[in-house]
C-alpha cells in the first residue's frame, strides 16, 4: 500500500505541472493506467485469499485439520489425492466418519434415516456424501481382473443407501406374505422384483415423492470403499469379522462389522444388483454417479455367501444375463438407494 501512496503522490505532482505544461498529459495518463493496474492486481490477490479462507472454513472439522486442505475441492473430499492415500486405515476411517457427519449437518439431516414400511418394520438408510475416488483395481491387489480398469469417478451428489441388504421382513412388509421366522435374513430377488419393490416403497408419503432405486455401479463401489483403496474395504486380507463368505447359506444382516460409512455386508452374504448394464473395462461407462444404460447383462456386486474370498473384493464385478425378469435368483439380493436432494 505504501508504494501505491508514493505513486499517487507522484501523480499529484505531475498534475500540478500539467497546468503549466500540457506536454505532460501523456505521461500523466500513463501513470494513471499503471495505478489502475496495480489496484486491480491487489484486488485479485485479496479475492484469491478470501476464496482460500472460505474453503478452509467450509471443510469438515477434525482434531487434525492439515489433511483437509490437501484433499479438499471446496465442496467435497478428493479421495484420489496422495495426501489421502498416505493415511493409515484408522486415520481414513476417522476422517470419513467426520466428513459424513459434517455433510449431514450441512444438509440439515441426520447421518441415518428410517422409512417405515409397516408397524414395527423400518428400512434403514445412511447418507453417503459426494467425492472423487478411484474406481476399479485397488492398490496391492494381485487378484484384480481385466474388467476392473482403474479410473477416477466423481460422485457429484450425496445419496442415501440401505444400511443392509433388503431383508425378508422388509420385503414381505411391502410385497405381502410372511418371513417365516427368518425376518432379518436377506431376501433373494431377481432384477425385476428388486425394481418393483423400489417402485412400491416410492409411493410411501414419508419419502415426499423421492424415488427409491437401485444404486448405480459407481455409487455402489464408492459407498463400499468408503475412502479406501485396498482390495477390501477393511484392508488387504480377508477378515471374517466383515464378510460372510465360503458358507452353505446366508446369514442375518448386520452381524458383520460395518465399513466407515456404516454399511454392513457390502462384501459377502448376497450379490447385489446395480442399475447398470455391464460394460467391460468401463470403456463407455459414465465417470460420475450415473448408470450405464446400454447392454444385455446387468451388473452384480459384492460376492455372496458361496463366494471365494477373492470374489468379495471391493472391485469385483459380475454380470447376469437371461432370466433376470422371471425367476428368483439364489444368492442374489439387493440394497436400495435414493437421492439426498
DSSP 280-322: GGGTTS-SBSPPP--SSSEEEES--TTS-GGGGSTT-EEEE-T
pLDDT level of residue 102 (50, 70, 90 thresholds) = very high
Residue 55 pLDDT > 60: no
In a domain, 246, yes or no: yes
Mean pLDDT confidence for 309-324: 86
Does residue 180 register a pLDDT over 70? Answer: yes
Question: Average of pLDDT values for 271-281?
Answer: 95
Domain extent at residue 110: 84-339
Angle, alpha carbons 242-244-249 (nearest 5°):
165
| Alpha carbon distance 157, 144 (integer Å) | 28
Q: Examine the domain organization and report whether 142 and 258 are in the same domain.
A: yes
Instruction: Determine the length of the chain.
Output: 341
| Domain identity same for 7 and 155 | no
Percent of the chain residues past pLDDT 90, beyond the cut: 69
What are the phi and psi torsion angles at 53 (to 5°)? Answer: -65, -45
Same domain, 38 and 168: no
Q: Is the pLDDT of residue 4 over 70?
A: no
Co-location of 208 and 265 in the same domain: yes
Residue 125 located in a structural domain? yes
Task: Provide the domain count of the chain.
Answer: 2
Domain co-membership, 168 together with 268: yes
Looking at the fold, whether 197 and 247 belong to one and the same domain comes out as yes
90 pLDDT higher than 90: yes
Phi, psi (deg, nearest 5) at residue 32: -65, -40
Q: Are residues 19 and 94 in the same domain?
A: no
Which H helix or E strand runs over 338?
strand 337-339
| Residue 66 domain-assigned (yes or no) | no
Indicate the pTM of the whole model.
0.83
Amino acid at each position: 500500500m505504501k508504494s501505491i501512496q508514493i505513486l499517487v503522490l507522484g501523480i499529484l505532482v505531475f498534475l500540478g505541472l500539467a497546468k503549466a505544461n500540457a506536454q505532460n498529459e501523456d505521461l500523466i495518463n500513463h501513470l494513471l493506467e499503471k495505478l489502475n493496474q496495480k489496484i486491480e492486481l491487489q484486488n485479485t490477490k485479496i479475492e484469491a485469499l478470501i476464496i482460500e479462507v472460505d474453503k478452509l472454513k467450509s471443510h469438515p472439522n477434525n482434531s487434525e485439520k492439515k489433511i483437509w486442505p490437501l484433499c479438499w475441492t471446496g465442496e467435497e473430499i478428493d479421495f484420489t489425492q496422495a495426501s489421502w492415500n498416505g493415511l493409515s486405515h484408522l486415520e481414513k476411517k476417522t476422517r470419513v466418519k467426520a466428513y459424513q457427519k459434517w455433510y449431514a449437518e450441512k444438509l440439515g439431516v441426520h447421518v441415518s434415516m428410517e422409512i417405515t414400511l409397516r408397524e414395527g418394520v423400518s428400512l434403514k438408510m445412511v447418507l453417503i456424501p459426494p467425492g472423487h475416488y478411484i474406481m476399479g483395481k485397488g492398490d496391492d491387489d494381485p487378484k484384480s481382473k481385466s474388467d476392473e480398469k482403474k479410473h477416477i469417478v466423481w460422485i457429484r451428489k450425496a445419496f442415501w443407501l440401505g444400511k443392509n441388504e433388503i431383508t425378508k421382513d422388509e420385503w414381505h412388509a411391502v410385497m405381502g406374505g410372511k418371513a417365516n421366522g427368518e425376518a432379518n435374513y436377506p431376501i433373494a430377488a431377481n432384477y425385476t422384483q428388486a425394481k418393483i419393490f423400489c417402485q412400491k416403497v416410492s409411493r410411501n408419503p414419508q419419502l415426499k415423492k423421492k424415488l427409491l432405486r437401485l444404486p448405480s455401479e459407481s455409487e455402489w463401489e464408492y459407498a463400499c470403499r468408503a475412502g479406501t483403496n485396498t482390495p477390501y474395504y477393511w484392508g488387504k486380507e480377508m477378515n471374517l469379522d466383515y464378510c460372510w463368505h465360503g458358507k452353505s447359506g446366508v446369514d442375518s444382516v448386520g452381524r458383520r462389522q460395518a465399513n466407515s460409512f456404516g454399511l454392513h455386508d457390502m462384501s459377502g452374504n448376497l450379490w447385489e444388483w446395480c442399475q447398470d448394464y455391464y460394460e467391460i473395462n468401463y470403456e463407455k461407462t459414465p465417470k460420475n454417479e450415473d448408470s450405464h444404460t446400454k447392454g444385455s447383462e446387468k451388473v452384480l456386486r459384492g460376492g455372496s455367501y458361496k463366494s471365494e474370498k477373492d470374489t468379495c473384493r471391493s472391485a469385483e464385478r459380475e454380470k447376469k444375463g437371461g432370466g433376470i425378469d422371471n425367476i428368483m435368483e439364489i444368492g442374489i439380493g439387493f440394497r436400495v438407494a435414493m437421492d439426498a436432494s
